[in-house]
Amino acid sequence: MNSSLSGKVALVTGAGRDVGKAIALELAAQDAAVAVNYQSSADAAEQVVAEIRAAGGNAISCKADIATFSETKGMVDRIVSELGGIDIVVNNAGVAQRARFLETTPEQWKRHIDVGLLGTVNTSQAALPHMLAAGKGGRIISLGGDSSRIGEANLSMAAASRAATIALIKSLAREFGRYDVTCNAVTLGMIQSAHSDPAWLAENLPKMVKNYPLKRIGQPADVAPMVAFLASSDAAWITGQTISINGGFAML
């Protein structure tokens, strides 16, 4: 096994907290230089950067709304300038608003699609030219929920936008495999996060874990190692795949 990411540069979107933070810290622990993206949580992103640097790693924070291509391209160009390239893109930022389908609005749908789908389009269009120019291959990894594969009541917006992202990832895998760029998706079951509603969890967690063979919901630390593996040379012959991390909730 050769999982070191030494000499690699990674962008992690939405990396200020929860799963994004865990991924950024894991990639840095494996010696990648990490760009910690955020849209509004500057303090949280700077804290992640500080943790990486305190451990001897290299990191910068990057503000950008990935739903806007000009901001995304500016961010990627800055990463290439300051960190020396871009080898790994982890599309973690997303929106997952629970709502009954008949109560959803066009504005809500647009936001889910802008971030969940177009965010991955934008980061990929901004990063791939640099990857191809460098001639060293690359990694594009997109995260989402298992609702994108199995459907889930009251999560139609997130499910639809992330299902489209999976189709995009498969298409990019076929188009850019010849350049040694691998593209994969990671879908998740319920992950406890800082955004989790404590009252909702207290009421629903006992019922939820009955559907998980491992009898617990996930933690951000359950996700980061798989993303780091897909980013590494050990996963060089894995592309176009969707891998679920869900405690056995859905066996696909």
Residue 3 predicted with pLDDT over 70: no
Is the Cα dihedral 142, 145, 146, 149 positive or negative? negative
- pLDDT band of residue 201 (cuts 50, 70, 90) is confident
Label the pairing between strands 138-145 and 242-245: unpaired
Count of CA atoms in the C-beta half-sphere (13 A) of 198 = 1
Position with higher pLDDT, 226 vs 196: 226
Q: What is the pLDDT of residues 122-140, one digit of tens each?
A: 999 999 999 999 999 999 9
- The b-or-e profile of 51-88 (16+ CB within 10 A means b, else e) is bbeeeebbbbbbbbbbbebebbbebbeebbeebebbbb
pLDDT of residue 195: 64
Strand ranges for 102-201 from DSSP E: 138-145, 181-188
Position with higher pLDDT, 204 vs 27: 27
Q: Are 28 and 53 in contact (CB under 8 A)?
A: no
What the block records as the tokens of 70 is 């000009």
Residue 205 predicted with pLDDT over 50: yes
pLDDT of residue 194: 65
Q: Are 85 and 50 in contact (CB under 8 A)?
A: no
Q: Please state, in angstroms and rounded to a whole number, the distance separating the CA atoms of residues 13 and 39.
A: 9
Q: Please state, in angstroms and rounded to a whole number, the distance separating the CA atoms of residues 200 and 196.
A: 8
